Amino acid sequence: MAIPHPVGSITEDSYEAEMEIRMEILERALNAICTPITEQTVFRKGEQVEVTAAGKG
């Protein structure tokens, strides 16, 4: 048994729409692992965390 849309939307039928959803998730994950964390942080869809050169954002 397979999961047809593990990270996408069941309402999206096109390959392009599915890949766009996956890219958004990937970009958010990369942003999260590149951000120095000193306290509890939540990375929400559409929000960008700015990191300065000193590593404090």
**pTM > 0.95:** no
Q: What is the pLDDT along the chain (57 residues), one digit of tens a residue?
A: 777 767 666 776 778 888 888 888 888 888 889 888 888 888 887 776 665 555 444
Q: Where are the domains of the chain?
A: 13-57
Ramachandran sector of residue 52 (left: φ over 0; alpha: ψ -120 to 50; beta: rest): beta
